Chain A
Amino acid sequence: MRRAVLQALLSHWRRHKLQGLSLFLGLAIATALWSGVQAINAQARASYDDAARVLGQNRLERLVPPPDAVISEQTYVVLRRGGWRVSPVLSGMWQGDVRVLGIDPSTLPMGSAPAQIGQGLPIQDFITPPGLGYAAPETIALLKDTPGLPPLTPVPDLAPGLVMVDIGIAQGLLGREGQISYLLVDPVQPLVQAPLGDLAPDLTRQAPDAGNDLARLTDSFHLNLTAFGFLSFAVGLFIVHGAIGLAFEQRRPLFRTLRALGVPLRDLITMLLAEIVLLTLVAAGAGMVLGYLIAAWLLPDVAATLSGLYGAAVSGELALRPQWWGAGFAMAFAGVALASGQSLWRLARLPVLAPAQPRAWLRASVRSLRWQGLVAILLALAGIGLAWRAEGLIAGFAMLAALLLAAALLLPVLLAALLALAERLGDRAMLRWFWADTRQQLPGLSLALMALLLALAANVGVTTMVSSFRQTFTGWLDQRLASELYVTAADEAQGAALRDWLAPRADAVLPIWDVTAQAAGRPVAVYGVADHATYRDHWPLLDATSDVWDRLAMGDALLVNEQLARRAGLSVGDPLSVAGLPAPLTIAGVYSDYGNPLGQVIVSVDTLVTHFPDVPKLRHGIRIAPDRADDLRRAMQDELGLSPDQITDQAAIKAFSLGVFEQTFAVTGALGVLTLGVAGFAILTAQLTLAAMRLPQLAPVWGVGVTRRHLAGLELLRAVLLTALTMIFALPVGLLLAWVLLKIVNVAAFGWELPMGLFPRDWLLLGGIALLAGGAAAAWPAWRLARLQPARLLGVFAHER
């Protein structure tokens, strides 16, 4: 019996290849987008984990010296004698671009170095010159012709650009004999130990997460990506749901016949389940491969984005990870279970003698629409509630999910209402038929339209976010990079000579000098600025007292960037002590500082130089009439012997900064376009599937004298119309999405809020693309209708029962 039944079930797909293909592709693409994003995330995460593990950064407490100081070996010995289980680390840049990390293998806490190094380390070779170095294979490939380094052994777990050696070797390499950057504190400490304050009063304990900004920022980037992957998966699910629903509905007569001929319900359901499982395995497998290709294609962008924006190095190579496969299949099965559960449930409850016509299903049920509307409103309320009460990334994304789902559910309700209204208003017979027929088709198309809505809203949201960011960012760059030229001296002597030489020639020379210090319990960069109109006119202040620049110049106030203000809960008028300054200064202003993960403080240049006499005085901004900038630049090169790369003009810096930013969103943009493509595909398959089921509706109209071409034209018009209505509805939804991203998610993730701009030109472009996609998706079914054999239409009359 089984074989005969299975054959009958499968024969459906042989006769409806397109439907089978759409089901397969829908599932495959959904899995592909989801798993592709997951692959990128997993890869990038693994890279930071390695980096973090090597530094012990996230997990181990450290003892750190005051800013710009180092720890002496003497202090280390005192601490060890006092019962402190600490391990010295020296970290520094070697020849500019290789980070050398010196460790002490005998005291290193367990698990703070990659396992490959921990076990079987040839201690003797490691600590005696020239020593042994460990580095990631790609780092070794880069360094292979560089003299001066000890022989390198590949360890894949190490962060790119990092060489790990014994601390003694590192001190030699970096020319920092006897110096220690910080001490790692072993989590296991003896019960009795001398107080830290007695042994080493100038060291401070740094909690494990203090250096964690990088992880938090990159987390948010990944959360963004994951959100988009999820959105794409949701779009794919709508397709799968639609395709599976249609496949079940179309086969209802078959199911009924099979049962009438003696197939038990249980067997039928078992076989359908087997069919679904098989399909999911194959389609999800194909989707994983596709996802891998997408990931491999996007990964260089992601790696560039992360290193540009956050300084995190990600290796640009993709590794296939088992958990990634597992997660992909799990998602696919969850999605299919969700999509087919309803259909199977309905089948299980279907009496053998129930009417088998799939048409019954196509009829819009007013009651189910009402339910759908109610659920949508409840979801929207939940979303608003979340916006009102909750804070943080997860709440932001939960809110997004609630709002998007609510919007998707609401779409068919709104469309049905609109079409009913149009039907009542239309007076010509053909027109009324058109509206009524469109309304009848709505249930069959609504899943595809919901998918389109989500894709469009996501695109509106992302373009708004990116354009807002770009607008703000460019404006901010204009303000921050107000000087015409920027010049960096090679050393202090050249810096002093430069300032003397420039004084009579430039309109102003603005120092850009900074030191690292502690403020509000975290490391901050302290900049000193001159009292000059450049700042008064251009500096991007978010909030300030009216006399901010006067007070700053007098030396009794300071400015902080938005990140520091938000993280430390500071606002204008609050006092802030900066380690190294004798007394707390009042915050006179908060300025925006996009893209910078760290806290920043601005004081007057006099204050900086007085209290941090060692500040490197190398970088300077030069104000000069723009038409004289080129001459001055040449003069600096000729007369002062500066090399071209010591001088940058404003345009170059701006281009570089913008480039970094553009890359951040290149990935999200690519995903947005892919998602839109998937939604267009959903419409195509829905139209194709419906086309066959719609013959009984079209045949009578054709019978009374409407040509097939006319009918095809109407089909096309209908698709474009529905797409346009969906686009109109997607616009506010997308703007809402952008608002949540900019005002809630961005603040939670990055620590700054962005003003939101409106960009109607982007919308028009997107609307145009959507209409094209909708029209293109309907074009083929319409063409097939126009060329449909009259016999097929006549068949409807012959078989009408």
Chain B
Amino acid sequence: MLLEVDQVAKSFGTDPAKVQVLQGVSLRLAAGETVALTGESGSGKSTLLHLCAGLDRPDQGQIRIDGADIGAQSDSGRAGMRRNAIGIVFQQFNLIPSLDVAANLAFQARMAGRLDAARIATLADRLGLADLLHRYPDQLSGGQQQRVAIGRALAGAPALILADEPTGNLDEATGAAVMDLMLDLVADAGAGLLMVTHSEKLAARMDRRLHLSSGRVA
């Protein structure tokens, strides 16, 4: 099993102002599977994704990627997992401001040691970034930045893709095109995709759909 989340609980803050965001969330995602994660704003979708990526630790429960418990890893171990096995598209695009589009696209693949120039060229092409390769992030529109972030996550051909509203800033047509691309690549590589979305339409195109409410998966 690619990703296993077992009875995970997570809260923020201390007692009087404590927010119990997740309480006993479990989910499973196999290689090649695509899963949509929905839920109203503030329901904890981003939090869950961050936990899966090992960016934060759960209060309770276990998260395993390819059978390895993320919680048991050191900082370097978790960083290595993110580098080699996971592609993340953040809700905030998190591009590197001092690198141009081309370098941003190649960045994660280089870190994982899987730089494939042809793949990046194809990605840039299909994401509509071919003419923007030498621009810097602050010279891009919000949607363009988001597409670079998607390209960066996909470039290294990771086993698991975690995406937080990747099409939130895109118009419907572009969003649909980007979605097609992601699904294609996931299918080609046999990767798993866990994607947060508010769009019913997009959710409907995925294999499965999980709804988060009151800190639990329904």
Contact = CB atoms under 8 A, between A and B. Distances in A.
B96 interface: yes
A252 to B, nearest CB: 11
B165 to A, nearest CB: 13
Interface in B31-86: 50, 53, 55-56, 75-76, 79-84, 86
20 contacts: A1-B83, A4-B110, A4-B111, A8-B96, A8-B99, A11-B98, A12-B98, A15-B98, A15-B136, A16-B98, A260-B88, A260-B90, A261-B111, A262-B81, A262-B108, A264-B80, A266-B75, A352-B55, A352-B56, A353-B56
Contact of B82 (A15, A253, A261): A261
Contacts of B50: 353
Interface in A169-207: none
Contacts of B24: none
Interface in A782-801: 795, 798-799, 801
A257 B80 contact: no
Interface string B142-170: 10000000000000000000000000000
B214 interface: no
A798 B141 contact: yes
A14 interface: yes
Nearest to B86: A262
A272 to B, nearest CB: 15
B138 A262 contact: no
B37 to A, nearest CB: 18
A15 B88 CA distance: 26
Contacts of B90: 260
Contacts of B81: 262
Contacts, number: 86
Interface string A259-271: 1111111110000
B96 A262 contact: no
Nearest to A254: B96
Interface residues of B, number: 33
B53 A11 contact: no
B156 to A, nearest CB: 10
B80 A262 contact: yes
Most B-side CB within 10 Å, residue of A11, A798, A801: A11
A281 interface: no
B177 interface: no
Contacts of A256: 94
A257 B96 contact: yes
Interface of B: 50, 53, 55-56, 75-76, 79-84, 86, 88, 90, 92, 94-99, 103, 107-108, 110-113, 136, 138, 141-142
Contacts of A799: 138, 142
Contacts of B95: 257
Given A11-B96, A260-B88, A351-B56, 12 more contacts: A1-B83, A4-B110, A7-B99, A8-B99, A11-B103, A254-B98, A256-B94, A260-B53, A261-B83, A262-B84, A266-B76, A799-B142
B142 A798 contact: yes
Contact of B99 (A11, A263, A351): A11
A384 interface: no
A309 to B, nearest CB: 55
A14 B94 CA distance: 19
Nearest to A351: B56
A505 interface: no
Interface string A124-152: 00000000000000000000000000000
Contact of A8 (B75, B88, B107, B142): B107
